[in-house]
Structure 1
Amino acid sequence: MTSKRIGILTEFNYEDLELWYPYYRLREEGYETFTIGPEKDKTYNSKHGYPCKAEEGIDNVNHKNMYESGKVVASICHGAWMFCSAKILKGKRITCFVAIKDDVENAGALYEDSPVVVDGNMITSRLPKDLPEFCKAIISKLKE
């Protein structure tokens, strides 16, 4: 069993597969996964009504400088918006849902239309159909 803890963000209207697939796949690998929401113990419903109770609140987790400290950060679909807000995309190769392509490029990223893109400790994917490649890349990077 590994000592690495992996937080997965949740919020109202999350995409079911994009949360639960990595959550359980990473648990299968022995990582401690937990959900992080705006508020601890609050339940957030997915697009399809599936509930996810936030095991931690965002203000209660040590999330500052994760990228800069070399920890693996990953996003799928619209999750790249978080990287835009964190201002960590300048010069990075990434992928995302095509509808936010302009946003990530305006934040300085180099967009690639690929199932998964790994650039250093940043891993990105486009859509739920890319989840197998996305999770394989995350697990590979975590084992380095």
Structure 2
Amino acid sequence: MAKVAFLLANNFEDSEMKNPYDAVKEAGHEAVIVGAEKGAEIKGKKGTVSYTSDVSINDIKAADFDAVVIPGGSSPEGVRVQDQMVQFVKEANDQGKAIAGICHGPQVMISADILKGKKTTCFVGIRDDVKLAGAEYLDEEVVVDGNLITSRTPKDEPAFIREILNKL
């Protein structure tokens, strides 16, 4: 059983959190919602789902997890401004852990400076940002490069989830 950290802030894309989270749990893995504070309610931007954070980013280490998932929407903007969240992603990458980001999720990877020389995809609105971070942008439903898994939009979720489960 793998332990997967879901990095979350308000206004995440509802399905990009719910579907991978449910799939990870259904596959028998432990899914942990990581927020700025433990016990905080974190709401989706469409209002169809909300979650309560299981742990605070200040109370965990990347070494305790097997993978990291970064749902899209506006949540990655809220995640990337927290130094501890960015440091967590950087350490997970240094340890070779799977790091999956969909839609705007790669914004956190940019802040963690882990995209240089990697192939990636993302929501089209941030493709210039990933290129400036040193990545090769590919317009594909899912791109796997080493430990990194990236996808573009909710319609790519089946491929995104498949590749997360493959890594676990």
TM-score, length-normalised on structure 1?
Answer: 0.94
Q: Which runs of 5+ in 1 are unaligned?
A: none
RMSD: 0.9
Where structure 2 has 5 or more consecutive residues not aligned to the other structure, the ranges are 63-87
Letter in 1 for 2:50: P
Q: Determine the C-alpha separation between the residues in 2 that align with 1:97 and 1:26.
A: 23
- The counterpart of 1:42, out of the listed 40, 45, 68, is 40
* Distance in 1, Cα, partners of 2:15 & 2:59: 25
Match for residue 103 of structure 1? 129
The total of aligned residue pairs comes to: 140
Q: 2:20 matched to which residue of 1?
A: 22
C-alpha contact 1:10 1:52 (8 A) present in aligned 2: no
1:1-144 to structure 2, matched below 5 A, reads 2=1, 4-49=2-47, 50-63=49-62, 64=88, 65-142=91-168
Displacement of 1:84: 0.3
Alignment-mate amino acid for residue 98 of structure 1: V
Question: In structure 2, the residue corresponding to 1:74 is in which secondary structure?
Answer: strand
Which aligned segments of 4 or more residues in structure 1 are displaced greater than 4 angstroms? Answer: none
Find the aligned partners of 2:59 and 2:156 in 1 and give their Cα distance. 31
CA contact (8 A) 1:10 1:37 kept: yes
**Higher relative helix content:** 2
Matched AA of 2:166: S
